């Protein structure tokens, strides 16, 4: 039976270090030559949860992949998408069994790079970042050239001296890449049924209902028992399942969602910290500030000040 471990890779710098790459030129965005990526040789199955978005354009990938709990089809595909907090597994073939080395590009984008821009919220609306999609995107030669061209433009921009225009230029390039990808996915899946992921996809949808429909104001922060009841599972079973899949409990998933929403409000609105705490279901602003700092090492005001 394959040896399995769950790794947490929270930063792009950490990804570079673990995969044997040089230090990234920018801590929040990086274009990686996939032929240079090295997976663990000590364990033939690597499962990880990362704290950033990953858009991978890969060829000659040899191994078995799982995204969430679903098998992920790379046989005919080329372009794949992973969002922060999602689980991805690869069973790596030994190098001596590979007929060709994998090649391609990995675009890594930390969510903090997007804060204070419209894309911070919009990126969550692209369905190909969800567990419901379990096929990579097949590209024609022309489509592949378009995607590579955009990726190279992004690298050229952060490779030069960063100035006050750099972030907006890179953000517009990322949005262009996502819009092209959405067009290509619509073409690919027009006659295919996208399967839904059972547990993680249901949890994401349930939490989205709370955070997008102002239920936090009405009902407060959902508790583990409430979430478990709506998932038709016992609290212990759900937390154990999530822990085995993602390395995080139900409570941690709820807190991560809260922090993401808090960052969005802090960077895109002028609401006070107390007002944001209230909108997120906290009875006391101090409780919100304490949780925020425990997760980000910054107070809410320090986080907001970083964008001014």
What is the pLDDT averaged over residues 287-297?
Answer: 93
What is the pLDDT averaged over residues 122-144?
Answer: 77
| Residue 193 belongs to a domain | no
More confident residue, 227 or 89: 227
* Domains of the chain: total: 2
Indicate which CATH number applies to the domain containing 294: 1.10.10.60
| Residue 133 belongs to a domain | yes
Whether residues 241 and 97 fall in one domain = no
State what percent of residues in the chain have pLDDT above 90.
Answer: 34
Whether residues 168 and 52 fall in one domain = yes
* pLDDT of amino acid 191: 47
| Residue 109 belongs to a domain | yes
* pLDDT tens sequence across 211-269: 776 777 778 888 899 998 888 877 887 887 787 777 888 999 999 989 988 998 898 88
Whether residues 181 and 231 fall in one domain = no
More confident residue, 136 or 20: 20
Instruction: Select from 168, 188, 208 the last residue of a domain.
Output: 188
More confident residue, 118 or 201: 118
Whether residues 177 and 222 fall in one domain = no
| Residue 171 belongs to a domain | yes
What is the pLDDT averaged over residues 62-83?
Answer: 64
- Band (pLDDT 50/70/90 cuts) for residue 94 is low
Instruction: Select from 188, 214, 229 the last residue of a domain.
Output: 188
What is the pLDDT averaged over residues 131-142?
Answer: 71
| Residue 98 belongs to a domain | yes
* pLDDT of amino acid 90: 72
Structural domain span for residue 227: 199-305
What is the pLDDT averaged over residues 2-29?
Answer: 85
Whether residues 150 and 229 fall in one domain = no
Whether residues 209 and 156 fall in one domain = no
* pLDDT tens sequence across 255-279: 998 998 899 889 888 899 999 999 8
3-state SS, the chain, equals: CCCEEEEEECCHHHHHHHCCCCCCCCCCEEEEEHHHCCCCCCCCEEEEEECCEEEEEEECCCEEEEECCEECECCCCCEEEECCCCEEEEEECCHHHCCCCCEEEEEEECHHHHCCCCHHHHHHHCHHHCCCCCECECCCHHHHHHHHHHHHHHHHHHHCCCCCCHHHHHHHHHHHHHHHHHHHHHHHCCCCCCCCCCHHHHHHHHHHHHHHCCHHHHHCCCCHHHHHHHCCCCHHHHHHHHHHHHCCCHHHHHHHHHHHHHHHHHHHCCCCHHHHHHHCCCCCHHHHHHHHHHHHCCCHHHHHHCCC
Whether residues 25 and 157 fall in one domain = yes
- Band (pLDDT 50/70/90 cuts) for residue 301 is very high
Question: For the ranges 16-20, 44-48, 105-109, 179-183, which has the lowest average pLDDT?
Answer: 44-48
Whether residues 140 and 262 fall in one domain = no
Whether residues 215 and 116 fall in one domain = no
Is the pTM value of this prediction over 0.85? no
Indicate which CATH number applies to the domain containing 123: 2.60.120
| Residue 175 belongs to a domain | yes
Whether residues 173 and 246 fall in one domain = no
pLDDT at 127 over 60: yes
Whether residues 158 and 210 fall in one domain = no
| Residue 40 belongs to a domain | yes
- As given in the structure block, the two tokens for residue 71 are 């098998």
Round the average pLDDT of the chain to a whole number and report it. 81
Whether residues 18 and 123 fall in one domain = yes
| Residue 194 belongs to a domain | no
More confident residue, 192 or 114: 114
Instruction: Select from 131, 159, 188 the last residue of a domain.
Output: 188
């Amino acid at each position: 039976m394959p040896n399995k471990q769950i790794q947490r890779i929270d930063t792009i710098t950490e990804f570079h270090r673990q995969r044997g790459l040089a230090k990234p030129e920018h801590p929040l965005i990086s274009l990686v030559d996939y032929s240079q990526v090295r997976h663990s040789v000590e364990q033939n199955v690597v499962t990880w949860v990362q704290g950033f978005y990953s858009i991978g354009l890969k060829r000659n990938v040899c191994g078995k992949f799982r995204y969430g709990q679903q098998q992920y089809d790379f046989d005919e595909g080329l372009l794949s998408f992973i969002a922060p907090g999602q689980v991805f597994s690869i069973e790596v073939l030994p190098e001596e069994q590979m007929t060709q080395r994998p090649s391609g590009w990995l675009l890594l984008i930390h969510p903090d790079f997007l804060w204070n821009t419209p894309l911070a919220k919009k990126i969550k609306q692209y369905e190909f970042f969800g567990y419901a999609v379990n096929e990579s995107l097949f590209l024609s030669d022309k489509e592949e050239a378009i995607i590579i061209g955009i990726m190279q433009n992004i690298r050229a921009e952060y490779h030069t001296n960063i100035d006050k225009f750099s972030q907006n230029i890179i953000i517009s390039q990322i949005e262009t890449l996502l819009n092209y990808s959405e067009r290509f996915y619509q073409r690919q899946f027009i006659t295919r049924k996208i399967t839904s992921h059972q547990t993680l996809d249901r949890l994401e949808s349930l939490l989205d209902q709370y955070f997008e429909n102002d239920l936090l104001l009405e009902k407060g922060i959902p508790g583990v028992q409430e979430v478990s009841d709506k998932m038709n599972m016992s609290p212990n079973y759900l937390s154990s399942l999530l822990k085995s899949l993602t390395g995080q409990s139900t409570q941690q998933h709820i807190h991560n969602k809260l922090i993401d929403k808090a960052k969005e409000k802090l960077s895109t609105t002028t609401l006070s910290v107390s007002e944001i705490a209230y909108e997120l279901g906290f009875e006391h602003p101090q409780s919100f500030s304490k949780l925020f700092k425990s997760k980000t090492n910054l107070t809410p005001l320090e986080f907001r000040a970083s964008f001014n």
